[in-house]
Amino acid sequence: MEGLIKPKQYDWKDSNLALFGSDVENQVKKESAECEPAWRKAGQEFGLQIWRIVKFKVTEWPKSEYGKFYNGDSYIILNTYQEEGSDQLLYDVHFWIGKYSTQDEYGTAAYKTVELDTYLNDVPIQHREVQDHESALFRSYFPTVTILEGGADSGFRKVKPEEYRPRLLHFHGDKHGVRVREVPRCRSRIDSTDVYILDLGLRLIQWNGRGSNKDERFQALSYSKQLASERGGKPKVETVDEGSDAREFDRYLDKENETEEEFLAADKTPELYRLSDASGTMSFKLEKRGNVSRSDFDSNDVFIFDTKSELFVWIGCDTTEAERKNAMVYAHRYLMGTDHPMLPVSCVSENGRQAPAFVSALSS
């Protein structure tokens, strides 16, 4: 039917980072960063600050919603902290891309992340995060990461419980963290090793798979109680175990399943690429396959280190402006040509802080 066109999953992954191209190719200046109202309170207090991109604008995300992300949006997440024994404020800044986020939203989030980095005097380590493929660092910020359907135009709005559309929430994880995702209400999606909540607005039915763990069950119960509280205590919270009478739960499992690609690297061998304009033109070539050590990096160039579970952009202290400016662009283009384009990406500089995940990925 006209007007009911389903958005494309990861539409942005086919782009060439347009907002880092001809329109926004100039160096981000400190003056422009200081004109962004959203950054006025950025990095002044310890902890997390989150913004969502809405129609090219950076909008503050309510603290009550931290940990919740809509799959049609892109977000910027700033973590401010200090290392023990140091007075210097340190930062990690992430831009997060939802499955149905548009190229405009993704490009704006990426651009504004660079701008925020500039505003904070290039101290932050920059990261790219993609829905369902987030880094361990990103996941560590939240007790649960909840992925919900919708976006800026439709996702975040108050709905009366009695008008709520039925939805199915999937809880999967362990003591290191439980992830919550809204999934199609489809029988084939039900996994006996996990926990689900059927949200009917005024009725919340928790279904515990026989192989689910205590962390998943506990987080699901906590989530149900929080939802009930947010709705004035009106919803009835119920729990059923697999194998017991769950006819009411089953009755709402009528949606068609969505096929999802895995996007996992078939070849797990680490690879190191060099980006250099020493020859007079920009070249990007494979430097090494297998174990990569610190001695494999050269201060004169940029290196793309693909561990096959994360990707690192390493910028040498003597690189040219053109190499630095094109580093993330080449990293993005490289990943788009692989079978694992959704990897988390972190940008580290030779003279700056080294991301712990980068250090641990190097061979001794």
Question: Which amino acid type is present at position 83?
Answer: E
Domain with 172 in it: 167-251
* 11 lies in some domain: no
2 located within any domain: no
pLDDT of residue 95: 94
Q: What is the pLDDT of residue 162?
A: 60
217 within a domain of the structure (yes/no): yes
Q: Residue 104: what pLDDT?
A: 83
Note the pLDDT tens digit of each residue in 176-185.
888 898 888 8
Q: What pLDDT, on the 0 to 100 scale, is given for residue 160?
A: 64
Does some domain include residue 12? no
What lies within 8 Å, CB to CB, of 60 at 6+ separation is 38, 50, 51
pLDDT at 24: 41
Residues 291 and 323 in one domain: yes
- Rounded to whole angstroms, the Cα distance separating 217 from 172 reads 9
Residue 6 lies in a domain: no
- Answer with the one of 251, 285, 304 that is the final residue of a domain: 251
Query: How many beta carbons lie within 10 A of that of residue 149, not counting itself?
Result: 18
CA atoms within 13 A on the CB side of 80: 16
What pLDDT, on a 0 to 100 scale, did the predictor assign at position 328? 85
Residue 34 belongs to some domain of the structure:
yes
CATH number at residue 313: 3.40.20.10
Is there a contact between 79 and 92 (Cβ–Cβ < 8 Å)? yes
> Do 202 and 137 fall within a single domain?
no
Tally of domains within the chain? 3
Asked whether 348 and 313 are in contact (CB, 8 A), the reply is yes
Q: Does 257 map to a domain?
A: no
pTM of the model: 0.81
Say if residues 185 and 149 touch (Cβ distance below 8 Å).
no
- Whether 71 and 172 share a structural domain: no
Residue at a domain's end among 202, 223, 251: 251
Low-confidence ranges of the chain (pLDDT < 50): 1-4, 16-29, 155-157
